[in-house]
Amino acid sequence: MKVMTCPVNGPRPVSEFAYAGELREMPEPGAASDAEWAAYVFNRNGVAGIKREWWCHTPSGVWFIAVRDTVDDVVLKTHLFGQGGDAE
Amino acid sequence: MKRLPPVEGEGIDRAAPLEFSFEGRRLTGFKGDTICSALAAHGVTVVGRSFKYHRPRGLFSVANHDVNAMFQVEQRGRSIPNVRGDVAPLRAGMKVAAVNTAGGLETDRMAGMERLARFLPVGFYYKAFHGRWFPKWERLIRRAAGLGVVDKANRAFTTPKRYAHTDVLVIGGGPSGLAAAHEAAERGAGVILADEWGELGGSALYARGGASVDESVRRLADIVIAHRGVRVLSSTFAAGYYADHWVSLVGPENLTKVRARAVVVAQGAIEQPAVFRGNDLPGVMLASGAQRLLSRYAVAPASRVVIITANAEGYAAALDAFHHGITVAGVLDLRERSHPSESGLTGAIRDRGIVVFHGVKPVEARADSEGHVRELEFDVEVSKDRSARHYLAADGVWMSVGFAPANALLQQAGAKMRYETAIEQFVPSQLPAGVFACGRVAGAYELSDRVAQGREAGRLAAAHAARSVGAMPETEGAETLRKLQSLVFTPRGSPSHPFPVFPHPKGQEFIDLDEDLHLSDLINAFQEGFDSSELLKRYSTVGMGPSQGKHSNLNAMRVLAKLREESVEAVGPTTARPMFHPVSLAHLAGRGFHPHRRTSLHDEHEKLGAVWMPAGDWQRPEYYARSGETRMAGIEAEVRAVRTGVGLIDVGTLGKIEAHGPIAGEFLGRVYTGQFGALKVGATRYGLALDEAGVIVDDGVIARLGKERFYFTTTTGNSGSLFRELGRLATMWRMPVGLVNLTGHFAAFNLAGPLSRAVLSQLTHVDLSHAAFPYLGVREAEVAGVRCRLMRVGFVGEMGYEIHLPAVDAIHVWSAVMRAGERFGIRAFGVEAQRVLRLEKGHVIVGQDTDGLTTPLEIGAEWALRMNKPFFIGQRSLQALQRLPQRQRLVGFTLPAGSVRPKECHLVIESGRIAGRVTSIQHSPTLGHAIGLAFVEPPIAQRGSFRIRVERGEEVSATVASLPFYDAPGERQTLDEDLAERTEMLA
């Protein structure tokens, strides 16, 4: 079983965590065309590589961002939302 | 074979004899014996029949790899199949029988199978198992080739799992593992040392070279056992390596899951056979297996042996044999000369008058009438192109021609391997962070080198453990390896021969004893085009038997490399996946563990005769059974009580969440489709939650208890996931909202019916008049002395109060309400009655009347949408959907009298195609006929009638009905107060 590091609670077994998809930028609803909006709602990028993902440490309810290389399933970094530098 | 006089360090207790039986023969062994060592002590040479050809087979590795020494063992009324006799401890009273025989080991009726060999070519299964003959073949093969029999009468027994944490896990208790454990512990690391044998010391215990066990290894083992920092788990093997140093250890009784900060793999090497005609005869065995029998169990597996060797270990084995009084007929060295470093050993051999041949090519091992080996025929190279044939009589042929590293766990951990030609072995070329290798698995064979490398691995592992706090990756693998391999090994000859394979014109050179594969099978498979290691493996099944190729993969790879004219490295090592050894299902099986949630009123329902049904994780009363009342009658009586009097239902399974803060209303307004910033304190509103695609995901009632305090419900199944998602949304939107999940803390029940106010008014001082507490209001007030949250909601379509309160007081208030309602004929009602009631009122159940594609536009819930709000989840998608033609629409329907009643999910059929489905259907006791909800295409909804296909292809017609079916004007909620009072008085 993998270990994941919660930015608040430290390293814990991955069974304590829930995954909620990639961190995605929502287009401005009023400005987006129907096609742009549909692309945001329905399309996901499945190409393996370095992803920024939403994860939750479920016993404590801490949501955070994990930077994960999905090629070899290595979590490179975890941080609280908004504290990961300029990439957000 | 015979039992020897006491041997130094033997693991048997001669004072404790154990009686057992083998194939009906009564025998005696000693405590400390394995099944096989006890058999060997009695001269039993044939212990099993081979998988395919039913050839007699004997002991081979004595190291948990002997697939032909597997037994059906009956003990204490339990019959266990496939017990590995080479390692399974002997116990008193065991009844042991060979597996895979027809009518017993000695008189196996299948023994003639071998004459059919040419009809059972490689890839036989793939060639023969086709079409209508498949079941016949399958039955035949299952009878002819198989292992033990599962006794279905066995009772299940549970083996609790254990969990352990450690700084450093050392796998393998040989010299290198001992050194690693000691060094790591000395540096302050907590260490677990797992070893598959009963005693620490590894090969040093049995490979003695005719002398005593090396004193330094004995001392080291004693120090490690006594060390406070080391926990030794003996008779325990590591079955698999999983992510982030999570290793499963299998002991005699338990599975232990260990999380380590660093892992040292010191699993050693597995001795490999030579491949020649007759190499599977009983009496032909690995030298290390023979040495184990001699030293651990004081059993001489032969009286006169020849030793086929290509390394120093074979000479040492010859000295061990001589030491125990076994005649060594000859040492047959495959090499042209021995390595200079072996001069001490060869000198000792010469001193004992043992003949040594060099440049040997084994030709054939021959059997006596009982199938046991009696003679070895071999060629000795005389000059470049001339050799002389020799014959040596012997009842034992021991092979010591090379090793395969036990690197399965290293590979599972992600280590890369390269083939080192100096030792003819794969060694790690890249180690993952926190994984270290030492000893023979890493290419160190001399004792001093194994200990030195073990110490280095222990030092590095302790340092890694001290440094690593999490699972964040570190890039230190290459550096580690450089340090581990920078040690200069003592010069010595290669422990492994590059190609110990000797074809014979008549075949029967066994390359895989599990699967009965000959050398020719691999050659044929290659010629048929299965010429890569993975294809060859699957087609020929080499390495796919119970030992998983521990004795066959390396030789098969060497053969394949030769056929491909490539290096062994190019052919590549195959990855051995977990488990390393077979693990009994009892070790792996968990207990059936499916927790049910019970509401705080569970016992009350039980007393009232509740019939339970699952609702998500919860147990809920479906209805309350009364004697002399059928299920249907009971449900109808419950419905009638709510419509005409008063009923009470436990709704404590609803999700219950509080949101706090100045912007809590704004936050809920972004989550739900309605407007909540403007909701008045003391009021509730229906909440509908969508996903980004505009699909309904949940609904509930949202109450504003204070300016900055909201309390709301979710559907039973969604409470956990919705609460979690609210946390994510608050984080993502950077909205500071306090969210508290009260689902388990609060109980809730719904008091419903025209007389509900009459009941409640007896228990509270709060003004229940319409003016003071109107429909959709919320009040915090005492009920029966307990502070409750009262919400006037109407899910079942009658006047009613949802009462929410701390779970600890639930039974008190529930009982008070039931008592107060007694004179009004109050009746507890269950989920089924509630479903009828809400359907009469046309209320949808999210998840039943909606699915993963349903939008509010399709269920007529436009009224719940505030499309002019700045934002709510799903709003933008609904704006797009509003411009598109509608896909389907939820409508109410009724059926003609006497019609067959469709079931939920029966399809609406229009001109032979599917045009919708029934989502809900019930008999309405109030209306006296069936009512339902169905999704239909919009033109059908307009037309007003449609057809539903029911069971057996019949179709029934249905008529669209306007919703709700019951109380369309909604008068029941604002029931005239005089009427209410009159009804109360009548009651």
Residues of A in contact with B875 (CB under 8 A): 29
**Residue B815 scores a pLDDT above 50:** yes
pLDDT tens sequence across B533-572: 989 998 999 998 888 899 999 999 999 999 999 999 999 7
Gap from B597 CA to chain A (nearest CA, Å): 18
Residues of B in contact with A76 (CB under 8 A): 472-473
pLDDT tens sequence across B56-97: 999 999 999 998 899 999 998 889 999 999 999 999 999 999
Residue B107: its pLDDT value, please?
Answer: 75
Region B159-177: mean pLDDT is 95
Top pLDDT among B141 and B760 is at B760
For an interface test with A, the pick among B728, B739, B741, B872 (most A C-beta atoms closer than 10 Å) comes out as B728
**Residue B478 scores a pLDDT above 80:** no
Residue B977: its pLDDT value, please?
Answer: 57
Angle (nearest 5°) at CA B25 between B20 and B28? 35
Strand partners of residue B419:
B426
Residue B133 — very low, low, confident or very high, per pLDDT cuts 50/70/90?
A: confident
Whether A82 sits inside 8 A of B469 (CB atoms) is no
pTM of the model: 0.86
Taking CA atoms, what residue in B is nearest to A75?
B472
Query: Read out DSSP for B162-176?
Result: EEEEEEEEEE--SHH
In this complex, is the C-beta atom of A75 within 8 Å of any C-beta atom belonging to chain B? yes
**Residue B403 scores a pLDDT above 90:** yes
- Burial of B370 (C-beta count, 10 Å sphere; 0-12/13-18/19+): exposed
Top pLDDT among B19 and B983 is at B19
Gap from B960 CA to chain A (nearest CA, Å): 34
Other Cβ atoms within 10 Å of B92 Cβ, number: 13
Residue B145: its pLDDT value, please?
Answer: 64
Give the one of A11, A34, A77 whose C-beta lies nearest to B880's C-beta.
A34
**Residue B588 scores a pLDDT above 90:** no
pLDDT tens sequence across A1-12: 789 999 999 999
**Residue B471 scores a pLDDT above 50:** no
Whether A77 sits inside 8 A of B472 (CB atoms) is yes
pLDDT tens sequence across A49-64: 999 999 999 999 999 9
Residue B975: its pLDDT value, please?
Answer: 65
Report how far residue B751's alpha carbon sits from residue B805's, in angstroms, rounded to the nearest whole number: 13
**ipTM for this model:** 0.97
Residues of A in contact with B416 (CB under 8 A): none
**Residue B575 scores a pLDDT above 80:** no
For an interface test with A, the pick among B732, B743, B882 (most A C-beta atoms closer than 10 Å) comes out as B732
Residue B154 — very low, low, confident or very high, per pLDDT cuts 50/70/90?
A: confident
For an interface test with B, the pick among A63, A67, A69, A83 (most B C-beta atoms closer than 10 Å) comes out as A63
**Residue B474 scores a pLDDT above 60:** no
In this complex, is the C-beta atom of B740 within 8 Å of any C-beta atom belonging to chain A? no
In this complex, is the C-beta atom of A28 within 8 Å of any C-beta atom belonging to chain B? no
Report how far residue B272's alpha carbon sits from residue B949's, in angstroms, rounded to the nearest whole number: 68
Residue B473: its pLDDT value, please?
Answer: 45
> If we measure between CA atoms, which residue out of B23, B53, B46, B22 comes closest to residue B35?
B22
Give the one of B473, B724, B876 whose C-beta lies nearest to A76's C-beta.
B473
The chain-wide mean pLDDT, for chain B, equals 92
pLDDT tens sequence across B855-887: 999 999 999 999 999 999 999 999 999 999 999
Residue B23 — very low, low, confident or very high, per pLDDT cuts 50/70/90?
A: very high
In this complex, is the C-beta atom of B473 within 8 Å of any C-beta atom belonging to chain A? yes
Residue B327: its pLDDT value, please?
Answer: 97
Task: Find out whether B722 and B906 touch, Cβ atoms under 8 Å.
Answer: no
Tokens representing B830 are: 């269950």
Query: Read out DSSP for B419-484?
Result: EETTTTEEEEEE--TTEEE-GGGGT--SHHHHHHHHHHHHHHHHHHHHH--S------HHHHHHHH
In this complex, is the C-beta atom of B594 within 8 Å of any C-beta atom belonging to chain A? no
Taking CA atoms, what residue in B is nearest to A23?
B732
